[in-house]
Every structure is written in C-alpha cells, then in structure tokens.
Amino acid sequence: QVQLVQSGAEVRKPGASVKVSCKASGYTFSDYYIHWVRQAPGQGLEWMGWINRNSDATNYAQKFQGRVTMTRDTSITTAYMELSRLTSDDTAVYYCARDFSNWNLDYWGQGTLVTVPS
C-alpha cells in the first residue's frame, strides 16, 4: 500500500534551518510529483511548492521563494523540504503529499511538527 512516512518533530531557534524528510513506499516513486503543504496551529492548509518526477524542476509559492528548497533522492525514495531563516511564524505541521494527477493530492504523510519558539 502507498505510504509516505515523514521524519519526527523538530525544534529550531529563530534564524536556523530545518530539513524534513518524506519516505515513500508502495508505488513507483519516480512516477509522481511531490508537494509540500503546511498548517499553522489552528489555521488552514498552505501550499508551499512541488518538485517534479525527475528533480529537474521545482515550483515554490511566492511567499517561500528564496527560503525553501525541495529535493528528492530516487535511490532511497525520499523527498526533502528544507526551510531556512526560520521565525516563530514558521511553527506549523508540515506535510508531504503525492500528486496523482492535475495537482490532486491523493496520499499524505502523517505530518511533521516544526516548532520555532519566539
């Protein structure tokens, strides 16, 4: 069965960076885009960006451009999202999700809580 398993919770100081991993299994990893979505406490979903099948293209939400980097390693079927220059506003649960077609996200990771104390 398709699974996306993310790395554990992180606590970072303001100004630091965090890198979240997303290990895929149960399907051909290189056949699908991966998106990253975050959700601040008590807030809605916020799209961050995607990385394509071959890792030769990414597209980031304007809000995160210059601060986010999405990568993937097909050899270990894992995608990564790194966010730099963290502030307390970046405290959120970060999700990876598989795009099965047309920006429809059919499988999601369990989420990774990133906490940046103010």
Partner 1 sequence: QSALTQPASVSGSPGQSITISCTGTSSDVGAYKYVSWYQQHPGKAPTLMIYDVSNRPSGVSNRFSGSKSGNTASLTISGLQAEDEADYYCSSYTTGSTLVFGGGTKLTVL
Q: Residues interacting with partner 1, by CB under 8 A? A: 35, 37, 44-47, 50, 59, 61-62, 95, 97, 101-106, 108-111
Smallest distance, partner 1 to C-beta of residue 63, A: 9
* Parallel, antiparallel or unpaired: strands 78-83 and 68-73: antiparallel
DSSP state of 103: T
Smallest distance, partner 1 to C-beta of residue 44, A: 4
* Parallel, antiparallel or unpaired: strands 33-39 and 45-51: antiparallel
Gyration radius of the chain over CA positions: 13
Question: Which is nearer to partner 1, 13 or 31 (by Cβ)?
Answer: 31
Smallest distance, partner 1 to C-beta of residue 17, A: 23
As beta bridge partners, residue 113 has 93
